[in-house]
Structure 1
């Protein structure tokens, strides 16, 4: 384990961290970043450089992203702790097909039952892996849950009134991306890319389940919450730094507009329950490009990459997010070209 500094964890966490072991340096850096962000957000109004319009806009966007995602992160970490502490591991084996290749699409469809955003799906997927679910199926669930749940699809229908094809295209492209990524993990994925804490499985025999739930919730929320702050800061920086004229430059080309909106979805880090309204406002872009924005965003954005890095490890996050972006753009182009 990477060497830590002063911070430590009391007791033994649900991931098997012994009492008093120092936290890894990435978490310490995240905690310090969160403290710095809080200092900027609550700094006295009289501080002259904080009153500049660009800085004020950065503060507003950063705070909006963090506040928007926080309830779903709380939901996800609570579900993660509950699954790890209370749900028997045998239940997941019974629910999913034994063959991993079949378990992947079933898990992708099951993502419709979690009415949350991508912040909630990461800790839940981590808990599923710890409970013995094949990582490929857990990752299919991770990608599909924030994109095809009823809340997101309803928001898409409201944002694109009279255009049911957009809702169907989003559903199909998201499911296709989730399934393909699950199968790619079965084919090319390596367990060593996942940090050891995620590979740990099961409830500790003889321990208090409520204590395990509390420690698991505490560990997941503090870890994922810190990386959420970093992602929000990066997304806010892009929002402020990139001028509106850049958007107009790319809207004229069919292929460039798809790639540009896919990239924009990554850096804007809009919650999946609100991204349809952002996409609908981008009227200068083609329907396929706006579809790519809605398919890529819930699966790959700055805060999600940060959350994945904090939960599964950086070796996993960069490989998985890069491959997911390529597959999501391809699925959006194919399905959008056929339906829209």
Structure 2
């Protein structure tokens, strides 16, 4: 018997794949659904226990109020962002921008108005802009401006600060100026070897309908998770930290600005919901809360990690600290001019 006549042997890696069991599809969305169902079933005992603990009752009130106010804006923004990301051709952005890089930066910054989404979607979109030939300075300006000046975020800010309409103006103006300054700084000081040009296609192998729902599912899980963490942090600050500590920090105009800038980086709240968290920090001045709203959509922990994954560590470790300094300084200056 020749070698070719020998019977083929079945190897381990040739074995058929394991059957698709139901628990293999049990992800974070399903876990959240189970938790919500359990909360509804046991709402009576839970409410009774909360009523016995005043601090827990206060914590729950703050947490629920932030979530209830922010969630409609988050869902609406994610849906509109998915529509634009899936159904608007990527080549449109390259054709719409001026050829001169210095002129493309302010145009790209203003183009953020038409992207009703959070910063979670701006990073991959900026990467796709670069893949389509848009100058990195313009793409980065768009990345910074889009999460802060789009109509969903500005409307949410107006709802969160009904008695301070100047907060909406201050947030829009300061964010737009920071985005343009950072774009021009990249033109002047940035080097191509600092940035890893992204080559990952976005949902190219899916139909438009499936790509839309995949984009919505991804964004709502990520942005919603950070919203929950932000609401929990805001509630915890209001309950755990003594009012005297917060008040002494808030009474110092310089320390309050730096404190809320760092808090914005650490909380990593979606830009469609951060205004409601900022409004709950009523001990702090409007200027320091404006800094919180300008810094958050541009520099936070989730953005740094996303930028590292898309553009590389050499880029993120230079771009994020510079953006933090510029955003804090310009937002504080804007607040001093508007609220004085």
**TM-score, reference length from structure 1:** 0.67
Q: 1:164 to 1:38 in 2, by over 3 A?
A: closer
1: distance between equivalents of 2:305 and 2:163? 36
Distance in 1 between residues matched to 2:93 and 2:176, nearest whole Å = 20
Q: Deviations over 1:125-160 (max 9, x none)?
A: 222111111111111111111111122222222322
> Which whole-Å CA distance do the structure 1 matches of 2:278 and 2:298 have between them?
15
Distance 1:143 1:302, change over 3 A: same
In structure 2, C-alpha distance between the alignment counterparts of 1:160 and 1:319, rounded to whole Å = 34
Gaps of 5+ in 1: 1-31, 46-52
Task: Give yes or no for contact 1:308–1:317 (8 Å, CA) kept in 2.
Answer: yes
CA RMSD of aligned residues (A): 4.4
Q: Is the 8 A contact 2:226 2:270 kept in 1?
A: no
TM-superposed CA distance for 1:108, in Å, is 0.6
The residue that corresponds to 1:156 in the other structure is 157
Q: Kindly state the Cα deviation for residue 288 of structure 1 after the two structures are TM-superposed.
A: 0.9
- The answer on whether the counterparts of 2:73 and 2:156 sit within 8 Å (CA) in structure 1 is no
Asked whether the 8 Å contact 1:76–1:121 carries over to 2, the reply is no
* 1:24-173 matches, cutoff 5 A: 76=81, 79-82=84-87, 86-87=89-90, 89=91, 91-173=92-174
* Corresponding residue for residue 250 of structure 1: 249
Q: 1:195 to 1:170 in 2, by over 3 A?
A: same
Determine helix, strand or coil for the equivalent of 1:304: helix
Distance 1:115 1:178, change over 3 A: same
Q: How far is the alpha carbon of 1:94 from its aligned partner?
A: 3.4
In the alignment, does 2:266 pair up with 1:264?
A: no
CA change 1:127–1:222 in 2 (3 A) is farther
User: What is the TM-score of this pair, normalised by structure 2?
Assistant: 0.67
User: Which residue matches 1:188?
Assistant: 190
Q: How many residues align?
A: 300
* Corresponding position of 1:177: 178
Q: CA deviation at 1:292?
A: 0.3
Q: 1:163 to 1:239 in 2, by over 3 A?
A: closer
Conserved 8 A contact 1:262-1:297: yes
- The answer for unaligned runs of 5 or more in structure 2 is 1-26, 42-49, 51-55
